[in-house]
Structure 1
Amino acid sequence: MARKHGALLEEPRVDTDRLKLDHALIEALTARLAAGQDASPDESTLALRALLAEADDVHQAAMLRALWGRIEARAGTAMVVAGAAAQLLAADRFGLSARAVADPDAALAQVAAGAHALIDVASVRPWWGKLLARPELRVIAALPDDRHGLPAALRVAAAPTGPTGDDRTFWVTDARLPDARIVEALAACGFVARPLAAAGGLKLFMLAGYVQAEDGRLPAAPGALKGVIGAAPLF
C-alpha cells in the first residue's frame, strides 16, 4: 500500500446509512419541487412559519430559510434585484437565480411585466415613493425578515398580501417634520412607527402590524402625499 509522509493511506469508506439518508433527501426535494409553489405569498408565509416553529435551533432555522428560498426560486416567479444589499440578500435566501438590473426603475418595470423585484431600501432617489402612484405594485416582503434589525431590501410584486398574524407595514409621507415628530403623530393616530429611509423629500416608515391602505386613521397622519405601499411578514 502506498505511503504518504510516513503514514499508510487509508481507503475511503462509504457510510451506507448516511448515503440512504442523502438519497431520501434528494427524493423528498424532487417531490417538493414537483408540487410547485404555494397558491399565494400568504400561504407560503404560513407554511414557512410552521416549519420554523419545529426547528431545533437557530442553525436549523437558517438552513430551512435558505432551502425554502431556493425551492421558491425554482418553482416560483422570476426575480430581479437592484442594489448591492439586495443582491447579497437574494443570493443568501434564493441562491443565484435572481437577475441583476441597473436601477430600481428597471426593476419596477420588470415587476409590471410579471416578475418580482428585490430592491435596496437605501437609494439616492426614493423609488419606494413611486408605489404611491402605482397601487398595483406592492411591497410583499422585506429582507432581513426577522425582528432583530431593519430591512435593507424590499420585495415588490403585483400581488398584494394580506395579514399573516405577524407583519410590518410600509408607509410613505412627504411630511417635513423631524422623524421623531412624525413618530409621535402616528402614535397619536394609534400606530407604532419607526423611520426607515428618507430621500428626495419623501420619508419611509415601518408601522407595526398589518395596516390596510384604507385604514381610517391614516388621513390624520402627517403629510399631504402619503400612503401605505405594502406589508411584509416577520419570521
Structure 2
Amino acid sequence: MAEKILIVDDEERIRKLLNMYLVREGYETVEAADGQEALDLAMGQDFHCILLDLMMPKVDGIEVAKQLRKQKSTPIIMLTAKGEENNRVEGFEVGADDYIVKPFSPREVVLRVKAILKRSSETAFIEADATAKDVIAYDHLVIDNDAHRVLANEVKVNLTPKEYELLLFLAKSPDKVFDREVLLKEVWHYDFYGDLRTVDTHVKRLREKLYKVSPEASEMIHTVWGIGYKFEVNE
C-alpha cells in the first residue's frame, strides 16, 4: 500500500507541483488549501507525512501543528518563506520535525519526505521478533531500534521522528554530555541553522511523553546546566 502524504498550501501551483513529484515516486497524495481543511483531513484519517505551509488563511501552520500534536505523532515538514525564521522556530516548538525554505526544489522535498519516512516512528512500528539485536534496555526504558519502538514501564510511547532520534542519540552514549550545538548537528542531519531553543523544546516534549507513563524514564534525560543534556544511568 502506498504511503499517504497530505500536502497543505494555499497556493494551488505549489500543491500541484508537489503532488506531481510525489505521485511520480509512488506516494498517494491528498491536498488541502487552508489550515482548517488540513485539520479536518488529518484528524479524520491517518497520513504517513504532512507537508505543511506555515502562513495560510483561516488557520495557520503553527496552529495546525499544535492541534495535531495533541493527538498524533505524524511527521510534519514545514514549508516556510525565507523571512520567517522566528516562525520556523515556533514551528519546531509546537512539534514540527523538519522545515524546507521556499523557493525549494521539488526533488529536495521528495528526498526529505523519503528521509523522514525511513526513520519515522509513525510508519516504522513493527513487532520485533525474539532475535532483535539493536535494543537499549534499562529497568524503566527500552528502545528497540529494530522495531523503532520505545517502551517506558512496558508501555509504548508514541514519539515524533525527531523525538525518537534525540532519545536514541542520547541513549547510545550514556552519561556523556552533549551541548545543544552538537545535538543540532547530529540529530538534525543536514545543515540546520536553527535556534538552540529547538533542542530545549524537543527535550521538554520528550520528557513530558515519557513522564506520563514512567517518571523514572523521564528522569534519565538529565540537564547539565550551562552545557546541554545527557542520558543518565543510575547504577
**Higher normalized contact order (CA 8 Å, seq sep 6+, divided by chain length):** 1
Q: Fold match, TM over 0.5? A: no
Structure with the greater alpha carbon radius of gyration = 1
Q: State TM-score, norm by structure 1.
A: 0.32
Q: State TM-score, norm by structure 2.
A: 0.32
